[in-house]
Amino acid sequence: MSPDAALSRHSLAADPLPALRRLRAAAPRVFGQLHALLLTTGLALHSPNFALLLRLASSSSVPHRLQLLLCSPLPPTAFLANSLLLAHLPSALPLYCVLFLGGAALLRPNEFTYPALLRASPPRAALALATHSIKFLGAGAASRDRVLGAALLDAFARCGRIVSCRRVFDRIVEPDLPAWNALLTIYARCRATDEAAEILDLFGRMVVSSTVRPNEITLVAVISACGELGALGHGLWAHTYLLRRRLAVNCFVATALVEMYTRCGRMDLAEQVFASVDDDMDTRCYNAMLQGLAFHGHGRAALTLFERMCAQGFLVDSVTVLAVMCACAHAGLVDEGQWLFDRMEVQFRVTPRIEHYGCMVDILGRVGRLDDAEKLIRGMDIPPNAAMYRSLIRACGVHGRLELGERMIGELVRLEPEQSGNYVLMSNFYARMRLWEDAKKARKEMKAMGIDKSPGSSLLDIDGVLHEFLMGDKTHHASREIYAMVQEIEARLKECGHRPSTTAVLFNVEEEDKADALSYHSERLAIAFALIASPPGAPIRIIKNLRVCSDCHESTKLVSRLYGREIIMRDRTRFHHFRDGRCSCGDFW
């Protein structure tokens, strides 16, 4: 039908909406003519027709459409205003302000105003819109309208507002599956132990609910949280639930499972899941497996898998390159890491980012090529970050490079003057150089600035129950037995000739108590409880929030031999597999 035929009074009167839709392509040319016909026929008095007219006028400017809305014979309504907003997504915020917030605004938003606008807006604007929706519609609007409730959940989730998410969710009388998934996903993204643990209780409630049934999106969120917590028992249960319900193990689910098992120290199960994914394999799944291999120090295996990935034609992205480089760093494969770094842009068309430069600095630092590492930092096209300086400072401590280490300390303090971990690093660096006064000075500077050291904590999974320990913690129900086991361990360590390295506790206690303080580090309490509560010979799996200190690392190697236990410890940067008195990291971490 031609535009002229579509614009006839007969065609409009007979069936106006289809006629208007057929004019979509011609709307810029005939918009004025179409508007006149709607006015003269009286069809403009019908909101759906007028709303469609607004959406068809896509080539007109915003002021013109606004004038058209406010000057039309049909009194302005929220319906028309909402239609106008939908026509301008995702740049409708100024229009929203004019329509509903301006001094001359005659309209009041309703539950249809916000959902699309919330999802189309960036996080800060979405947070403001969510506040407006509560102001105009009341706190109970989310319970009355599920679409609005889901949009509010999404908005608060993108802003990281867990408390607000939970408040909205709890007001929904019977949350549907999208609402459950939105809440579980935001909890899964959180790296705080308490919030991440909450997801397991929520999932338990969802499973017994009679109104919803978990789907693949739900399981991805739950499995991801299990990986973050190192909750292997819960992760195994979620995997079993997935299989029993015959949910699809697609690339997203498989990636979450691989990440969870690698982060829980079960590379064997991660490899089983990865091997089972054939038709739905993608780059993200390969990256998860490569990151797991890197995390556990399996450099050669990561290189082999990378070669297979390239041979099969999968896209190599920046995450892929970083994972393989980290695997090379943790395994001491300097030449291989250098080769990949040199060719990543030319051969794989991946532009180096700050993380790739940082990993290359780590690789060079591990083998003592500290001047090359400094040269790389100085020659970068992008400003160095604090992580690069910290990496080089640690390497200087290992290789005895005082002057270079102090230069890097100066750069680090300039970038992050109030970061507690930097002062701990400085103190440990000077202590390793046996410059005790400088080490004490770093401690005094930290105290004078009122900077607190982040407390160390360790998570232990025993039969599906998570136990958390802090340094010197006595809140556990088996505290008496734990401390008795600590004393037994220390006695056996002394019989083997182990002497505590007290430089690791400069920031915690006074000199006379340092040796005792080492005995009560969170990972030692966790190991002591595991020796009491788990069967003889069973592996011990610990998740630690900080880097393991040198003395705890050395003592854990001895414990693994003395008690015949494999101890798998995940610290902030990597996994340590302690077995028969040795560690997989090669004593460089």
Helix (H, G, I), strand (E, B) or coil at 582: strand
In angstroms, the CA 30 to CA 499 distance is: 89
Which stretch of 16-30, 112-126, 484-498 has the lowest confidence by average pLDDT? 16-30
pLDDT of res. 541: 93
For residue 331, the number of C-alpha atoms closer than 13 Å in the C-beta half-sphere is 21
CA-to-CA distance for 405 and 428, rounded, in angstroms?
12
User: For position 296, what pLDDT does the model report?
Assistant: 93
Identify whether the C-beta of residue 178 lies closer than 8 Å to the C-beta of residue 152. no
Query: Which has the minimum average pLDDT: 170-184, 375-389, 506-520?
Result: 506-520
pLDDT of residue 464: 79
pLDDT tens digits along 302-314? 999 999 999 999 9
**The pLDDT value given to residue 195:** 66
pLDDT at residue 299 is higher than 70: yes
d(CA 450, CA 444) in angstroms, rounded, equals: 10
Please name the residue ranges forming H helices in 190-266.
Answer: 193-208, 216-229, 232-244, 251-263
Torsion of CA 54, 60, 66, 69, to 10 degrees: -30
What is the pLDDT, as a whole number, of residue 39? 59
pLDDT computed for residue 512 by the predictor: 41
Report which listed range, 63-72, 186-195, 202-211, 388-397, is most confident. Answer: 388-397
Q: How confident is the model at residue 63 (pLDDT cuts 50, 70, 90)?
A: very low
Q: What is the pLDDT of residues 452-476, one digit of tens each?
A: 667 789 999 888 788 999 988 889 9
How far is Cα 508 from Cα 307, in angstroms, rounded to an integer?
47
Q: Which of 551-582 are b and which e, b meaning 16 or more Cβ less than 10 Å from the residue's Cβ?
A: bbbbbbbbbbeebebebbbbbebbbbbbbeee
Percent of residues in the chain assigned helix, strand, coil, to nearest 5: 65, 5, 30
- Dihedral over alpha carbons 520, 523, 529, 532 (to 10 degrees): -110
| pLDDT mean over 294-302 | 94
| Adjacent-strand bridge partners of 469 | 458
What pLDDT does 542 receive?
Answer: 94
Q: What is the model's pLDDT at position 508?
A: 44
Of 307, 303, 363, nearest to 330 (Cα)? 363
Res 502: pLDDT: 59
pLDDT higher than 50, residue 81: yes
Confidence of residue 335 (pLDDT cuts 50, 70, 90): very high
Which residues are paired to 570 by β-bridges?
543, 575
If phi > 0 it is left, if psi is from -120 to 50 it is alpha, else beta; for residue 536 that is: beta
Q: When comparing pLDDT for 20 and 579, which is higher?
A: 579
Mark residue 72 as left, alpha or beta (left: phi above 0; alpha: psi -120 to 50; beta: remaining).
Answer: beta
**Least reliable range by pLDDT among 260-269, 398-407, 452-461:** 452-461
Q: Which residue has the higher pLDDT, 347 or 588?
A: 347
Q: Rank 111-120, 168-177, 449-458 by mean pLDDT and report only the highest.
A: 111-120
Check whether 42 has a pLDDT greater than 50.
yes
Specify the pLDDT at position 352: 94
Answer whether 179's CB lies under 8 Å from 150's CB: yes
213: number of Cβ within 10 Å: 13
| DSSP for residue 191 | -
Out of 57-71, 217-231, 317-331, pick the least confident: 57-71
Asked if 361 contacts 391 with a C-beta cutoff of 8 angstroms, the reply is yes
- The overall average pLDDT reported for the chain is 83
Please tell me the distance from the alpha carbon of residue 456 to that of residue 22, in angstroms, as a whole number: 66
Burial of 344 (0-12, 13-18, 19+ CB in 10 A): buried
Q: At a CB cut-off of 8 Å and minimum separation 6, what does 218 contact?
A: 177, 180, 181, 184, 203, 206
Q: Which residue has the tokens 């309504």?
A: 77
| Domain ranges, ordered by start, for the chain | 1-85, 462-583
Helix (H, G, I), strand (E, B) or coil at 246: coil
pLDDT, position 49: 60
The pLDDT value given to residue 279 = 77
Digit-coded pLDDT (tens) for 314-327: 999 999 999 999 99
Whose structure tokens read 């705890």?
Answer: 552
pLDDT of residue 506: 47
Assigned token pair, 438: 């400088």
Residue-level pLDDT at 510: 43
- pLDDT per position as a tens digit, 490-541: 999 999 888 776 554 544 444 444 445 567 889 999 999 999 999 999 999 9
Confidence at residue 356, expressed as pLDDT on a 0 to 100 scale: 96
Beta strands in 353-472 (DSSP E): 457-462, 465-470
DSSP collapsed to 3 states, 116-171: HHHHHCCHHHHHHHHHHHHHHHCCCHHHHCHHHHHHHHHHHHHCCCHHHHHHHHHH
Residue 21 confidence class, pLDDT cut points 50, 70, 90? low
Percent of the chain residues past pLDDT 70, beyond the cut: 81
Report, as an integer, the average pLDDT of 74-85: 74
Q: How far is CA 551 from the centre of its chain?
A: 31
Cβ–Cβ < 8 Å for 316, 310: yes
Task: Please give the Cα distance from 268 to 561 (Å, whole number).
Answer: 23
User: At residue 36, does pLDDT exceed 50?
Assistant: yes
Of 354, 359, 316, nearest to 337 by C-alpha is 359
Alpha-carbon gap, residue 337 to 372, rounded angstroms: 14
Q: What is the pLDDT of residue 198?
A: 81
Judged on CB neighbours under 10 Å (0-12, 13-18, 19+), 316 is: buried
Residues 6+ apart with CB under 8 A from 426: 393, 409, 413, 439, 442
Residue 56 has pLDDT above 90, yes or no: no
For residue 62, the model assigns a pLDDT of 43
pLDDT in tens, 119-145: 899 988 999 999 999 889 988 888 888
